[in-house]
Amino acid sequence: MADETDVMIDDEGPIRTVILNRPERMNAFSFGMRVGIEDALIDFHRRDDLRVLVLTGNGRGFCAGADLVEGGDLGPKETLWEKTRDRWWYYRAFEMVEKPTICALNGPVAGGGMGLMLACDFIVASSAAKIVPAFSRVGISPDNAVGKNLPRRIGYNRALLFLLLGEAVPAEQALEWGLVDRVYEQEAFEEGVASLAVALAAVPPVTASLTKRLLRDAPSLPTHLVTSYEQLLVGLSSASGEGAAARQALASRLSGTDSPR
């Protein structure tokens, strides 16, 4: 059976923190971890009171990818079930979520863990973090949607060289590449992640959702359809009560009053 303790969930106000909880194995994947991630994402998607999800790891690393020490992540009761499904079935839950998601790299990430990192909208890292594309080291090609999401962040040529050489990239270099969005000093990491999550949670949910949808869909559309799509989404966001409240608040600030006249 799946071990529910492989993933911990902490909800505080509008922010959900999902913590990979196999520190003794550098949070390497297990069946229970996959199930726990999927369940946490689906529940997050359905709940209106939750606005931002933070994904991080317990201990000194974020995720080491497949658990090679224990012979993979298939338990005896799950082997047949897993073999009849796409190995990364849980990953599709990220595509369903239309609220902001943050990957908080508390430490090293390797192999398939990179896919988990790249599934999130934003990647922020501790200065102690490093990213290790370990696939070539064990003689396999990338998985967990790395082939799609890594080139989208750093380009084809850099992604190919990075994956083939398999060399670890420290957080500051990853920031220069655009592989991560922010780097915080190790002692200020938790505070930095919390500050970003709070700022994103303050964005009207409809605005956040439709903006995320636009940036996800627009690259595959011709320009004339993009502008029409944008017009449709602007209408939807403007019609929402949250959008109206945000415009009212801005008008009040611009007029120097605390409340609308």
For 188-209, the pLDDT digits (tens) are 999 999 999 999 999 999 999 9
Which amino acid is located at 47 in the chain?
A: R
CA distance 4 to 95: 23
Is 227 found in the same domain as 124? no
| Residue 210 falls inside a structural domain | yes
| Residue 239 falls inside a structural domain | yes
Q: Are 103 and 53 in contact (CB under 8 A)?
A: no
For 38-76, the pLDDT digits (tens) are 999 999 999 999 999 999 999 999 999 988 776 554 444
Q: Which of 166, 186, 201 is the last residue of a domain?
A: 201
Host domain of residue 235:
205-255
Is 105 found in the same domain as 17? yes
Is 105 found in the same domain as 29? yes
Is 210 found in the same domain as 103? no
Is 108 found in the same domain as 178? yes
| Residue 261 falls inside a structural domain | no
Burial class of 193 by CB neighbour count within 10 A (0 to 12, 13 to 18, 19+): buried
Is 94 found in the same domain as 69? yes
Q: Are 62 and 114 in contact (CB under 8 A)?
A: no
Is 195 found in the same domain as 137? yes
Q: Which of 201, 226, 242 is the last residue of a domain?
A: 201
pLDDT recorded at residue 142: 93
pLDDT recorded at residue 89: 75
Is 102 found in the same domain as 215? no
What are 173's two structure tokens?
């270099």
| Neighbour count for residue 31 (Cβ, 10 Å) | 21
Average pLDDT over residues 80-106: 80
Q: Which of 161, 179, 201 is the last residue of a domain?
A: 201
Residue 106 is part of a domain; what is its CATH number? 3.90.226.10
Is 144 found in the same domain as 166? yes
